[in-house]
A and B are shown apart, each in its own frame.
Chain A
Amino acid sequence: MLDDPYVVHAYGVVAGDSMVELPVAGVLGAAVVCIPCGTHSVIASTLPESRFGPRCWEEHGQDAEWLASVARQHHEVLQRVGESEDVIPLRLPSVFPDEHALGSATRSMRDQLTTAFEVVQGHLEWTVKVWRTPDARVPDQALRPATGADYLRRKTMEATARDRRSEQSREAALAVHENLAMVATHSVVNPLHGRDVTGRAESMVLNAAYLVGRSVRDDFFLVADEQAGCWGPEGFLVEVTGPWPAYSFTTIRLEQVRVS
């Protein structure tokens, strides 16, 4: 069975003594196991090298369907584990030639992993996005300016209205973020996604991640609801997605060399 070359894919790291419940299948349908590596254990799958090794990754690096499919499967394993257990997620690609190499990499990162666990212990990550609904007012394009002065006046009014909207969006984003950050242990504000990426009519005005203690989750939701109620009448939507394993608050890489 394993006479053919294989690789070990690592999803994430858990405490060494954890009795984590594992999902049945992970990337490309492979079985998910927990490999003890000293102080920590790694959630992993073994796959044929031809299907998941370095050359395979090189070939599929620009393959949207393959990447998205593998990313989702990887995420679902971590999602499942993270619901009951603190887990340090690993990013893709995350393959090792064998269990020995994986164990060696994990042991060499013991101190960094311990520090990362101290940060995430008892916490989950929540994403909060704030969206602005499109301006419902239709400009009177049909009304031709009677004079050049009228035209300039209209342009000035439109520019002022736009500035006011921008200012209000900034105000909303800041208010929502600051209120949520008070309940969270850590927070990070991420770049906004344009409408070509989101495909939504609304504009994104805040994209942030919060590391929230499991025990204060309801307080966090309460603040999110309060902010939604406060800014809703101004045309803003507050959207909470989660819970996530703490991707945004850990930057552990097991022996991957980063170029660029």
Chain B
Amino acid sequence: MISNSSKLLSMLPIVLPLIGALLCFVIPPRWRSFIGLLFSWSTLAACFGLVWLLATRGLTEHHLGGWEAPLGIRLRIDGLAGVFLVLTGMVGVPVGHFAMSFFKQKQPASRGVPFFWPLWLFLWASLNGIFLSADLFNLYVLLEIMGLAAVSLAILSGKAAALLAGLRYFFAALVGSMLYLMGVVLAYGSAGTLDLGLLGASLPAESITVRIAFALMMAGLLIKTALFPLHFWLPEAHSSAEAPVSAILSALVVKASFYLILRLWVEVFDGSVTFAAAQALGALGGVAAVWGSYQALRQTQLKRMVAHSTVGQIGYLFLIFPLITLSPGWEGEAPWLTSAWTAGIYQALAHGFAKSAMFLAVGIFVLAVGSDDKSSVLNMVGRLPMTTFAFALAGTSLIGLPPSGGFVAKWMLLKATFSSGQWWWAPLIVWGSFLTAGYVFMILRLSFAPSEAAPVKALNPVPKTLEVTALALGIGAILIGFRAEEVMSLLEIASPFAESVQPVTEEGGHD
């Protein structure tokens, strides 16, 4: 039963940031932070309202403009969408507060700073749209908006390094979008519809066109999610951006394309999924987890270290694909499936909080000392204890130490690895954790250095807001680990994963 209020509510997460972005474009720059934060909080409230609606009334759908399938665009809120909506809101609001304070503090202000709020709100609208939309072409348009907004944010500082990294990011994003669009065209040519649900039901699974479409869409989205070896654009783009922008890019933007990969894998193309493809994705993810963490360990600059860490943590996300695809000829129950997909979602959530906290903390260190080098962290535990604590909490979640959200994710991932008998992923997961511990503890050890070792005696002033928001996100990464049951029960509402357990056949797809 879809009431008018629920229809309105399902559009608010997209419409509110859009209106906010347009307003922020036209009002004078000194009001933009205030209006931007106003709209941020109301978007967060709308996302919570939608999740409450989901919890009380179940799956909600809304056909835009009253046009029904197969022609119309459908907005669909299920558990998976709700979880990602709330993640974006709960990371976006603290980062917004950080940005307001940060850009006031950082002198000289770059020319692009007045455009932060319109661009960030446009980006947020596109992210919410990606989570809610159930139409392939609508998703393409939203992906393009996301790419344009994200690249514009990345080049906000106007420095040469940021411009070059931004253009490389833009080319990668455009190639990804084009590959995705070619896949959409082939899928439409095969099935005659663009709606995700209808496609899942009516795509001819055995046809080669559908397999090529699947491969193209996956390739495009993998470039956007920066899975090894397609991660070439990420470290420079994320490290040369301003601190709040790096947090948004690493925590939220890469998750949107991962969300789409999940949707395609489970809802749309589950007839074309092969066991080999799943193992290949898992292998790339495992290599990414080790390679990214190893590269992070080798860096001497703080922001580059955190950006390489993102490449590593994204690898963990892809380790769930071989665990949710059963091998051919499997008979009987597969009780690890719930662990596997919950692990993936939890990794996305925990990484969102932890990476944003880490980028904000590192941004504070760079602001205070004026240098991006590792030595900026020396003696920080005495001079900026709150920020160091935020960094430590974020690191705890990234390594996967209890009681953090990252621990829940990696624990469930290891459980699923052993229950399903695919033990070969476990060494990669553990090795990645060791390397992550390496660079986190390296920074923490430096921060405990005595005050005689510090490079500068007087720090630039750091407003309390910056430290408090970084700490809030760090605490969020830990708290998520405590409320696992609520998140899992939310995920199960109309979840695309809660379907019958079927093994993949020899040729691919299910019987």
Partners in one complex: no
